[in-house]
A and B are shown apart, each in its own frame.
Chain A
Amino acid sequence: MNPFDLLGLSRRPLLSDEEIGSAYRKLAGESHPDQSGGDAAIFREISEAAAILRDPSRRLRQLSGSSVGSQLPPEADQLFPRIATLLQQADNLIKKQAAASNALAKALLAAPIKNLRADLDSTLNQLHKWKTSLDQELAKIDSRWPEHDPNAVSLLADSYTYAGRWESQLRERKLSLDCI
Chain B
Amino acid sequence: MIAGIDLGTTNSLIGVYESGFPTLLADSEGKRLIPSVVFYPENGIPVVGREGLRMQALHPERAAASVKRFIGRRFGEEETEALSGPKGSPVTLPINGKNLTPEQVSAEILKTLKVVAEERLGTSVNRVVITVPAYFNDAQRAATRRAGELAGFVVERILSEPTAAALAYGLDRLQENSKVAVYDLGGGTFDLSILRLDNGVFQVLSTHGDTRLGGDDLDEAIAGLLLREAGITALTLEMKVRLKEAARAAKELLSNEESTAVLLPFMEGSKSLEVPLTRSQVEEICGPIIARTRAHCLRALEDAGLKSEEIDQVILVGGSTRMPLVQRLVAEIFGKQPNLSQHPDEAVALGAVLQGAILEGNLRNIVLLDVTPLSLGIETFGGLMNVIIPRNTTIPTKAGEMFTNAVAGQSGMKIIILQGERELAGDNWTLGSFQIPFPPLPKGAARVGVQFSIDADGILQVLARDTVTGSEKIVEIQSAVEVSDEAVEAMLAGSLEHAIEDMDARIFTEARLKAEEMLPAVKVALEQFGSELPESEVLDIREKSSEVQAALASKETTRLNQAISSLDDATQTLATKLIERGMG
Contact = CB atoms under 8 A, between A and B. Distances in A.
Interface of A: 17, 21-22, 25-26, 28-29, 32-36, 40, 43-44, 47-48, 51, 99-111, 113-114, 171-172, 175, 178-179
A102 B582 contact: no
A51 B393 contact: yes
Contacts of A21: 196, 198, 203
Contacts of A171: 302
B143 interface: no
B581 A104 contact: no
Contacts of A102: 514, 517-518, 521, 564, 568, 571
Contact of A108 (B198, B200, B524): B524
B295 interface: yes
Contact of A101 (B200, B398, B514, B582): B514
Given A22-B198, A111-B581, A179-B294, A100 B517 contact: yes
A117 B577 CA distance: 20
Contact of A25 (B198, B581, B583): B198
Nearest to B522: A104
Interface string B375-387: 0000000000000
Contact of B574 (A17, A33, A34, A104): A104
A40 to B, nearest CB: 6
Contacts of A100: 517, 521
- Residue from B359, B575, B583 having most chain A Cβ neighbours under 10 A: B575
Contacts of A36: 361, 364
20 contacts: A21-B198, A25-B199, A29-B200, A34-B359, A36-B364, A44-B396, A47-B393, A47-B394, A101-B517, A101-B518, A103-B572, A104-B518, A104-B571, A104-B575, A107-B578, A108-B578, A111-B581, A113-B582, A114-B582, A114-B583
Contacts of A103: 568, 571-572, 575
A110 B584 CA distance: 10
Contact of A33 (B196, B396, B568, B583): B396
B432 to A, nearest CB: 24
B227 interface: no
A43 B295 CA distance: 32
B517 A32 contact: no
Which secondary structure dominates where chain A touches chain B? helix
A93 to B, nearest CB: 12
Which secondary structure dominates where chain B touches chain A? helix
Contacts of B302: 171-172, 175
Contacts of B492: none
A106 B582 CA distance: 11
Nearest to A27: B201
A25 B364 CA distance: 15
Interface string B334-352: 0000000000000000000
B298 interface: yes
A179 B298 contact: yes
Nearest to A43: B396
Contacts of B361: 36
A48 to B, nearest CB: 8
Contact of B367 (A32, A99, A108): A32
B305 interface: yes
A107 B367 contact: no
- Residue from A25, A28, A113, A171 having most chain B Cβ neighbours under 10 A: A25
A29 B201 contact: yes
Enumerate the 4 nearest inter-chain pairs by beta-carbon distance, A residue then B residue, closest first: A110-B582, A179-B295, A107-B578, A111-B582
B295 A33 contact: no
A180 B510 CA distance: 21
A111 B579 CA distance: 7
B358 interface: yes
A25 B518 contact: no
B525 interface: yes
Contacts of B198: 21-22, 25
B196 A25 contact: yes
B196 A107 contact: no
Given A104-B525, A110-B578, A34 B368 contact: yes
B299 interface: yes
A31 B359 CA distance: 14
Contact of B369 (A25, A111, A178): A25
A25 B203 contact: yes
Contacts of B394: 28, 47
Given A35-B367, A100-B517, A101-B518, 12 more contacts: A26-B199, A51-B393, A102-B521, A102-B564, A104-B571, A104-B575, A107-B576, A107-B577, A107-B582, A110-B582, A111-B581, A114-B582
Nearest to B574: A104
Nearest to B399: A48
Contact of B579 (A25, A28, A44, A110): A110
Contact of A28 (B305, B369, B524): B369
A134 to B, nearest CB: 16
Contacts of A110: 578-579, 581-583
A40 B578 CA distance: 59
B286 interface: no
Given A25-B196, A25-B198, A114-B582, A105 B517 contact: yes
B566 interface: no
A80 to B, nearest CB: 18
A16 B577 CA distance: 50
B581 to A, nearest CB: 7
